[in-house]
Amino acid sequence: MILPRELVDPRESMQERLLVRRFSLRYLGPMQRWIAVLALPLVLFATSAMAQEIKTLETGKIWSAYTVPEKGGPTCYLVGKPASSDPASVPRSRVDAMISHRVGEKAYNVVTFNLGYAAKKDAKAELVIDGKKYALFVDNDAAWTASAATDKAVTEALARGKTAVVKAASARGTATTDTYDLTGFGQALKAIDTACKVKR
């Protein structure tokens, strides 16, 4: 089985860091956020140790789905890369979109767009799905929605949609546009919903 790079080698990706940071920003208080940060090395160690337990649920041309066992319940997530990124000449690291369910934390439909660069503090980004706009907030190198309700709405819009466009800007002021082809997204979402027992 070919394992997703972000779980095989944590040095190559910020995915688990993003999941922990996203959860701490939205669901935890100040003291709990600090505890979550302190626990991050343990999360990364556990991620590496569980690499052989990763199960591939769906492998598509654009969107793939996986599940990982964790204490309290599995984490199920889908990942896809943009069909195009502009300007193409700008060097960037990880650029992709991810939807995750974390059963142990009762966090579902968590939307994350990895931008591949550091953004300005308190910066905003915009997501457009087939013409409908959603505001995103940016923390370091990723963009998220502001609420669990918006996460659910965005996830379901992505499943119904054809194209999604993410517009953001780096700390240096470089504007970027990432365009995602949503073909196969619905099938990958169904796979993680089934694995984590999420009903729609």
Across the chain, what does the average pLDDT equal?
81
The predicted model scores a pTM of 0.77
What percent of the chain clears pLDDT 90, i.e. is strictly above it? 66
Please write the tens of the pLDDT for every residue from 88-97: 998 999 899 9
Domains of the chain (ranges; CATH) run: 55-195 (2.60.40.1880)
**pLDDT value of position 54:** 84
Mean pLDDT to the nearest integer, 52-79: 91
**pLDDT value of position 51:** 53
pLDDT higher than threshold 50 for residue 110: yes
**pLDDT value of position 164:** 98
Residues 6+ apart with CB under 8 A from 44: 10, 16, 17
